A and B are shown apart, each in its own frame.
Chain A
């Protein structure tokens, strides 16, 4: 239906001819923008309602004194539904380790929470279909679980900033929201997020549309295709400084994929954009000493690169 509406607008109302560059670019832009915004609004709202039942204080209680493996899996799953913005990373980290959540389990949470991100998920679903979106969640969880287990095994507790262990943590009684409050919370959250990301989405889809209409076929297959072994690590390195623009990057990447960029490279890029970010590293340096911070970033980056190669090989 959306496709027909976009076709009608571009080809009938504006009188552009199907198959021409301008026509195809504009058609792509209109169709994708409406589709993405519909998906974004619905799913962010639903995710926000689920999240309102999992405040971090509750997640902490579930995870405290959990053993390895089970703890890591649980932490990665809770990372999806626990609301947490990067400015809360420090109190969250302190609250977790102080209440006896093992360090490796805490890291599984810290990796999965930004990486399995609802905006990235919706964009992938809208632009690549639900299979790729599911692969993204599944591998994201896998990276979070593995990275957490490795960090747990490395016994790096001494590389947590010393003051963290000396903190006195109180036990807040967080009231459960009423249904009405949950709806209000979800509505505010959705509006807030949409307000913040819409320009990125529109610009991203605009550039995507341009690439779609103007960049020659197979242009990218030559240098970002599956035969280029450097494409994956390069995509990961490029993803690190792009954190806040996840919403705008995906439509561009979709157009690039259509021109021959390999799917594994795309997934690796997405994961790097959402899970490895400079602002997060700076915030985490308040609680982690350099060796632990470096290990954390190194392991996650390595895991993402491996997943990129894996999917380039099988998809």
Chain B
């Protein structure tokens, strides 16, 4: 599973990235977590509000952060 956190580096983006890492280790799933800050890569997903969560190439949500518990639901 490949999980990407899209965000240009604002505080909320960092919170989401940390929450994703926590969620992955708590649930014990095999996943590669990447933080994507490059604007061209963010735009490829068509996301216009950051942070956004992308799992295996699908945008799960955008424009908000989420708790580790909430993210676990998507894993």
**A residues neighboring B (CB under 8 Å):** 55-57, 60, 83-85, 87-88, 90-92, 94-96, 98, 167-175, 185, 188-189
For A98, list chain B residues within 8 Å (CB): 43
A90, B38: Cα distance in complex, Å: 12
For A90, list chain B residues within 8 Å (CB): 8, 39
**B residues neighboring A (CB under 8 Å):** 7-10, 12-13, 39-40, 42-50, 59, 61-64
Contact assessment for B44 and A91 in the assembled complex, using a CB-CB cutoff below 8 Å: no
- Given contacts A88-B49, A91-B8, A94-B39, A55 and B44 within 8 Å (CB-CB): no
Contact assessment for B48 and A57 in the assembled complex, using a CB-CB cutoff below 8 Å: yes
Partner of B62 from the list A87, A170, A171, A172 (CB cut-off 8 Å) is A172
Partner of A168 from the list B7, B12, B43, B61 (CB cut-off 8 Å) is B43
For A189, list chain B residues within 8 Å (CB): 64
For this complex, 6 residue pairs linking A to B, each with C-beta atoms less than 8 Å apart, are A56-B49, A56-B63, A87-B10, A87-B13, A91-B49, A167-B43
Partner of B63 from the list A55, A60, A94, A171 (CB cut-off 8 Å) is A55
What's the dominant secondary structure at chain B's contact region?
A: loop
Additional A-B contact list (18), CB under 8 Å, known A170-B44, A171-B46: A55-B62, A56-B63, A57-B48, A83-B63, A85-B10, A85-B49, A87-B10, A88-B50, A88-B63, A91-B39, A91-B48, A94-B43, A98-B43, A167-B39, A170-B43, A173-B59, A174-B59, A174-B62
For B44, list chain A residues within 8 Å (CB): 168-170
A84 and chain B: residue at smallest CB distance: B49
For A185, list chain B residues within 8 Å (CB): 64
- Given contacts A90-B39, A167-B40, A167-B43, A95 and B59 within 8 Å (CB-CB): no
How close is B73's CB to chain A, nearest CB, in angstroms? Answer: 11
Contact assessment for B46 and A95 in the assembled complex, using a CB-CB cutoff below 8 Å: yes
For B46, list chain A residues within 8 Å (CB): 57, 95, 169-172
A168, B46: Cα distance in complex, Å: 9
How close is A221's CB to chain B, nearest CB, in angstroms? Answer: 42
For B64, list chain A residues within 8 Å (CB): 185, 188-189
A92, B47: Cα distance in complex, Å: 8
How close is A212's CB to chain B, nearest CB, in angstroms? Answer: 35
Contact assessment for B50 and A87 in the assembled complex, using a CB-CB cutoff below 8 Å: yes
B52 and chain A: residue at smallest CB distance: A172
For A88, list chain B residues within 8 Å (CB): 8, 48-50, 63
How close is A183's CB to chain B, nearest CB, in angstroms? Answer: 14
A96, B59: Cα distance in complex, Å: 18
Contact assessment for A168 and B59 in the assembled complex, using a CB-CB cutoff below 8 Å: no
For B42, list chain A residues within 8 Å (CB): 91
For B63, list chain A residues within 8 Å (CB): 55-56, 83, 88
How close is A107's CB to chain B, nearest CB, in angstroms? Answer: 16
Contact assessment for A87 and B12 in the assembled complex, using a CB-CB cutoff below 8 Å: yes
Contact assessment for A170 and B49 in the assembled complex, using a CB-CB cutoff below 8 Å: no
For B50, list chain A residues within 8 Å (CB): 87-88, 91
